[in-house]
Structure 1
């Protein structure tokens, strides 16, 4: 029969997997609402953020109980990393809610005539999130490590988008409100990639007991195009 500690540890792991699934879903739906200017979908994304908030609290509460049981080193790493990963997932939910808020605002504004394509940034941020969660599920440190250099390319893509939007606002002041909303969405996507990178670093620590957060980063691939 499974001992209580192992059962509680499995339940903690299941809570994390649920959070991961909900975070991915929130990002997907927020971006869909942004692309289609669907205010109703954006509202549902915003309202669903409270579920991730609640799950983060549950993970922390369960982790504290497990820490009091003096687990073995490998289990201790899982418990402590669970708290860190849940925090990053909750913050990804927050970023999705911000995107949804921007989608609601833009739903009532005319389209902006500017050749800035957020799709490459969105696809990469979502891919990084999925990869980091897959690495956690499979306890795959190599996959987690391979994700980390991609964050630099996301940063470069975000910078290029920001510069293009700023230049457009300087030439077309009437478009400033809409451009600021798009700029916020781009920043949210960059932050989602940051949180995915944090999760990947936590996975490496979970698997290898090696803290790589402040180690030199490998060279990144070139940034994606920002024009359509």
Structure 2
């Protein structure tokens, strides 16, 4: 797989570092990311133990994620409405809005597949292991991606964002392998069809989460390094 060195990518004017209102927006993004990590952990637990009570709590808490997203959008509009803001600050605010949008979409995907928990409540342990192994593996990988976002937001160092992009591509390869495995299970017997289709549905939702994570990584790189990686292919390497 070829990579694009960042010194060949168009550089934007440098951004101001987070302070004042930008610092507050930054803290809201960090909190929203933390909420999603918790949501993902709880959903994987619910699937593992066929725990519908936990799944319902995840679905209910998605409203809190949406509320945080709405709060960020309100703060963004407030900053944009003020006169005298520097162009670079406005660009940062717009990127924060895009990141919040992508995080909200990840939250929706997690709540959506949490509702599939009952689909795996009737299998014995061996069958459930076959159905959920790829989901747990992929879910764990996406948790790592979200943790890398947290590391970027906490340290304001873009290095984990570049790693996030590379890891997200490996994650998508893993998902495609998992979908093929679920197709094989679905063909094994009629009893496997419905749960295997549910497993594929969840894997596709996780694939969309991975795509959103990669978009966020691009926004963070633009925000921190003033490097726009859009249009330069999926793999971007940072020159040491």
Q: TM-score, normalized by length of structure 1?
A: 0.86
Higher relative contact order (CA 8 A, sep 6+): 2
Shift of 1:72: 2.2
Asked whether 1:17 is paired with 2:30, we answer yes
What is aligned with 1:45? 58
CA-to-aligned-CA distance 1:80-110 (integer Å, 9 cap, x gap): 1111111111111111112210113333x33
What is aligned with 1:176? 193
Residue 78 of structure 1 contacts residue 206 of structure 1 at CA under 8 Å; is this kept in 2? yes
What is aligned with 2:9? none
- Distance in 1 of aligned mates of 2:153 and 2:231: 20
- Distance in 2 of aligned mates of 1:156 and 1:43: 30
The partner residue of 2:79 within 43, 47, 66 is 66
Shift of 1:217: 3.2
Residue 26 of structure 2 contacts residue 153 of structure 2 at CA under 8 Å; is this kept in 1? no
- Distance in 2 of aligned mates of 1:215 and 1:83: 23
What is aligned with 2:48? 35
Residue 186 of structure 2 contacts residue 194 of structure 2 at CA under 8 Å; is this kept in 1? no
Q: TM-score, normalized by length of structure 2?
A: 0.82
Where 1:149 maps in the other structure, the secondary structure is: helix
Residue 34 of structure 1 contacts residue 99 of structure 1 at CA under 8 Å; is this kept in 2? no
Residue 46 of structure 2 contacts residue 54 of structure 2 at CA under 8 Å; is this kept in 1? yes
Residue 69 of structure 2 contacts residue 101 of structure 2 at CA under 8 Å; is this kept in 1? yes
Residue 30 of structure 2 contacts residue 153 of structure 2 at CA under 8 Å; is this kept in 1? no
Cα 1:219/1:76, change in 2 over 3 Å: closer
What is aligned with 2:204? 187
Where 1:166 maps in the other structure, the secondary structure is: helix
The partner residue of 1:56 within 61, 64, 69 is 69
What is aligned with 2:130? 115
- Distance in 2 of aligned mates of 1:124 and 1:19: 19
Between Structure 1 and Structure 2, how many residues are aligned? Answer: 215
Shift of 1:219: 8.6
Unpaired runs of 5+ residues, structure 1, are 1-5, 221-228
RMSD over aligned Cα atoms: 2.2
